[in-house]
């Protein structure tokens, strides 16, 4: 295979080999195409004879339910996995992707769903991992630093090259991941849900950049579950279902309903449910809480039963930290947390749980799930002290399996195999397992931190319905989210955080995009 001449060429989608006759589209020849790709995982056929093509200068959206095989497809394109069957062509040439390394040589670069960052290394070191600039075999650290800064500046991300990745927030890590994919000799950029934990500002920057490289002839494969993003940047959409190719549509003309129907095989009436709020007695109260690292400063809030309180703010504004501190997993410097009238400030996490507070963390892999254990064990973990998981001080393994099965049904786990290690599920399904954890015990105040990260539209609707049910059943719900529509549609009260402080509390009708955003940004001078 002659990769050499490929590499020499410009990054533009210039005319390639003439033998390329089977291109499904009439315009430019495809940059990257797959023919009859199948991928058999042990026990699962993740892709079933999928054809796909990417033209230079287009943004091609991959759309499908959780577990449809989107990530698997792009992992084959990026050289991480090899297909069981079928072939991949790059500029008309059949390529046998031996490795990621080779894919990168061809200018194919990917942002994966699960981060591929080395936490102990700095941003700068991560950006060039595997592609370090050397001079005479010696790392050219000056050039590396300069180039890192250039990339970051170009993307406009608030990152510092010298920071260690493990100290960054999930959102910041996502930015590093994106920055890592932008290289000078790019020909194909693959983005797997890159905006899942970004706020609008960063998302907008990313899109501007995508527009820019599109103009340079780079082909972009983009996976997302957010409809508005499809509208914003997509050119064509390919829908996958159960590992099979369903259709390819023009993004400008395809309607939401049609997409969802193609994707799920059924119709989803509305994404956001209408919720009946009946605020009752005060359940949770946080008074003037400050954390030792000043990620939260003097913040107060209250949550009542029968309502959904949104916490919004930029990345790093402290909206997560305040609830983590309230849950007892992060330290508190000063302040008081009251649950149902009782001061719980000094209690352990377990005690707070027993009194009815429950926090679902945003990063399922890092702190949500035990990846190598089964779904059943993950679901039941918080509640092993009570029925149906325990009987007479011992585990009730029969009851546990039954209950876990019910929860899997309720969350629509795909595939419904509760004994399988969580690791082997698609991202969205892992999220379902995480959410199921809070249904194992009685809870008065639910705290969801980015509950729909990487979840498909159908499931998202189900999760929203689920949150609505909780609320209407009289629970108090706190929803921490960087997805503004989520906040706008689901909450009846919103606290906006800025630099660890509560900048505003917005009620009912006042919850509009404009109203919230106005508090997101600096207003300190005032």
Ligand X SMILES: Nc1ncnc2c1ncn2[C@@H]1O[C@H](COP(=O)(O)OP(=O)(O)OP(=O)(O)O)[C@@H](O)[C@H]1O
Which residues inside 139-178 make contact with another protein, applying CB under 8 A? 139, 141, 160, 162-164, 167
Measure the CA–CA gap between 351 and 381, rounded to whole angstroms.
15
- What b/e string do you get for 330-366 counting C-beta neighbours within 10 Å, with b at 16 or more? bebeebebbbbeeebbebeeeebbeebbbbbbbbbee
CB of 214 to ligand X, least distance (A): 23
If binding is defined by CB under 8 A, does position 367 make contact with another protein? yes
* Residue 397 interacts with which of another protein, ligand X, Mg ion, none, CB < 5 to 8 Å by class: another protein
Measure the CA–CA gap between 151 and 415, rounded to whole angstroms.
40
Output 35 or 340, the one with its CB closest to another protein. 340
Q: Which of 368, 427, 451, 500 binds Mg ion (CB under 5 A)?
A: 427
Neighbouring-strand partners of residue 525 = none
Q: What is the dihedral of CA 201, 207, 211, 213, to 10 degrees?
A: 100
- Answer whether the bond into residue 415 is a cis peptide, omega within 30°: yes
# residues contacting Mg ion (CB under 5 A): 4
Q: Which DSSP state fits 504? A: E
What strands lie across the sheet with 93-95, from one edge to the other? 93-95, 85-90, 32-41, 44-54, 244-250, 236-241, 59-64, 219-223, 188-192, 108-111
Residue 205's Cβ-side half-sphere holds a number of Cα atoms within 13 Å equal to: 15
If binding is defined by CB under 8 A, does position 420 make contact with another protein? yes
Site string for another protein, 483-522 (x = CB under 8 A): ----------------------------------------
If binding is defined by CB under 8 A, does position 24 make contact with another protein? no
Measure the CA–CA gap between 471 and 490, rounded to whole angstroms.
10
3-state SS of 174-208 is: HHHHHHHHCCCCCCEEEEECCCCCCCHHHHHHHHH
If binding is defined by CB under 8 A, does position 93 make contact with another protein? no
Output 44 or 260, the one with its CB closest to another protein. 44
Q: Which of 209, 227, 347, 384 binds another protein (CB under 8 A)?
A: 384
Q: Which of 320, 440, 459, 492 binds Mg ion (CB under 5 A)?
A: 320
Site string for Mg ion, 61-80 (x = CB under 5 A): ----------x---------
If binding is defined by CB under 8 A, does position 99 make contact with another protein? yes
- Answer whether the bond into residue 128 is a cis peptide, omega within 30°: no
Site string for Mg ion, 74-113 (x = CB under 5 A): ---------------------------------------x
Q: Which of 38, 116, 149, 515 binds another protein (CB under 8 A)?
A: 116
If binding is defined by CB under 5 A, does position 313 make contact with Mg ion? no
| Piece of the chain touching another protein by CB under 8 A; list 51-59, 66-74, 382-390, 496-504 | 382-390
Measure the CA–CA gap between 381 and 9, rounded to whole angstroms.
55
If binding is defined by CB under 8 A, does position 101 make contact with another protein? yes
If binding is defined by CB under 8 A, does position 372 make contact with another protein? yes
CB of 242 to ligand X, least distance (A): 8
Q: Which of 125, 172, 202, 307 binds another protein (CB under 8 A)?
A: 125
Output 43 or 341, the one with its CB closest to another protein. 43
Sign of torsion over alpha carbons 498, 470, 414, 87:
negative
Q: Which of 28, 45, 100, 246 binds another protein (CB under 8 A)?
A: 100
If binding is defined by CB under 8 A, does position 228 make contact with another protein? no
User: What is the phi/psi pair of residue 431, to 5°?
Assistant: -60, -35
Q: What single string gives the DSSP state of each residue in 91-154?
A: TTEEE----HHHHHHTTEEEE-SS----TTSBHHHHHTTT---EETTEE-HHHHHHHHHHHHHH
Query: What residues line the site for ligand X (CB under 6 A)?
Result: 41-42, 44, 46, 64, 66-72, 113, 167, 169-171, 295, 313, 315-321, 424-428, 454, 456, 482
The closest residue (CB) to ligand X is: 320
* Residue 394 interacts with which of another protein, Mg ion, ligand X, none, CB < 5 to 8 Å by class: another protein
- What b/e string do you get for 69-87 counting C-beta neighbours within 10 Å, with b at 16 or more? bbbbbbbbbbbbbebeebe
* Residue 374 interacts with which of another protein, Mg ion, ligand X, none, CB < 5 to 8 Å by class: another protein
Q: Which residues are near Mg ion by CB under 5 A? A: 71, 113, 320, 427
């Amino acid at each position: 295979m002659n990769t050499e001449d490929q590499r020499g060429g410009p990054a533009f989608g210039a005319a390639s080999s003439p033998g390329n006759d089977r291109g499904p589209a009439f315009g430019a020849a495809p940059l990257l195409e797959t023919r009859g790709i199948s991928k058999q995982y042990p026990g699962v056929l993740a892709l079933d004879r999928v054809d796909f093509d990417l033209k230079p200068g287009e943004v091609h959206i991959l759309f499908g339910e959780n577990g449809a095989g989107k990530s698997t497809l792009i992992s084959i394109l990026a050289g991480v996995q090899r297909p069981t069957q079928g072939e991949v062509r790059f500029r008309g040439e059949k390529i046998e992707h031996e490795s990621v390394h080779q894919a990168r040589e061809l200018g194919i670069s990917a942002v994966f769903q699960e981060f591929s960052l080395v936490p102990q290394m700095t941003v700068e070191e991560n950006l060039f991992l595997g592609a370090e600039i050397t001079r005479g075999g010696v790392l050219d650290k000056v050039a590396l630093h300069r180039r890192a800064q250039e990339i970051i500046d170009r993307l406009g991300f608030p990152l510092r090259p010298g920071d260690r990745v493990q100290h960054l927030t999930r959102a910041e890590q996502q930015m590093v991941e994106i920055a890592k994919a932008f290289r000078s000799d790019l020909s194909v950029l693959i983005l797997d849900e890159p905006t899942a934990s970004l706020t609008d500002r960063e998302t907008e920057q990313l899109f501007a950049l995508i527009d820019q490289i599109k103009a340079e002839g780079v082909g972009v494969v983009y996976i997302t579950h957010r409809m508005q993003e499809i509208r914003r940047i997509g050119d064509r959409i390919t829908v996958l279902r159960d590992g099979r190719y369903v259709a390819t549509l023009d993004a400008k003309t395809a309607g939401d309903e049609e997409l969802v129907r193609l994707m799920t095989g059924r119709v989803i009436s509305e994404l956001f449910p209408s919720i009946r709020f009946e605020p009752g007695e005060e359940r949770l109260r946080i008074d003037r809480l400050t954390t030792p690292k000043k990620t939260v400063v003097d913040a107060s809030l209250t949550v009542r039963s029968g309502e959904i309180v949104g916490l919004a703010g930029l990345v790093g504004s402290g909206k997560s930290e305040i609830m983590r501190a309230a849950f007892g997993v992060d330290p508190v410097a000063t302040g008081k947390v009251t649950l149902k009238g009782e001061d719980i400030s000094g209690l352990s996490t377990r005690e707070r749980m027993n009194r009815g507070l429950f926090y679902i963390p945003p990063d399922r892999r890092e702190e949500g799930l035990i990846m190598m254990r089964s779904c059943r064990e993950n679901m039941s973990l918080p509640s092993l002290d009570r029925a149906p998981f325990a009987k007479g001080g011992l585990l009730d393994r029969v009851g546990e399996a039954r209950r876990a099965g019910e929860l899997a049904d309720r969350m629509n786990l795909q595939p419904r195999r509760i004994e399988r290690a969580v690791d082997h599920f698609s991202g969205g399904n892992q999220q379902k397992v995480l959410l199921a954890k809070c249904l194992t015990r009685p809870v008065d105040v639910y705290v969801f931190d980015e509950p729909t990260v990487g979840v498909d539209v159908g499931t998202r609707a189900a999760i929203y319905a689920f949150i609505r049910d909780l609320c209407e059943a009289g629970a108090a719900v706190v929803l921490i989210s960087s997805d503004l529509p989520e906040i706008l549609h689901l909450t009846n009260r919103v606290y906006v955080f800025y630099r660890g402080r509560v900048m505003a509390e917005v009620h009912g009708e006042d919850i509009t995009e404009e109203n919230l955003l106005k508090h997101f940004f600096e207003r300190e001078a005032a």
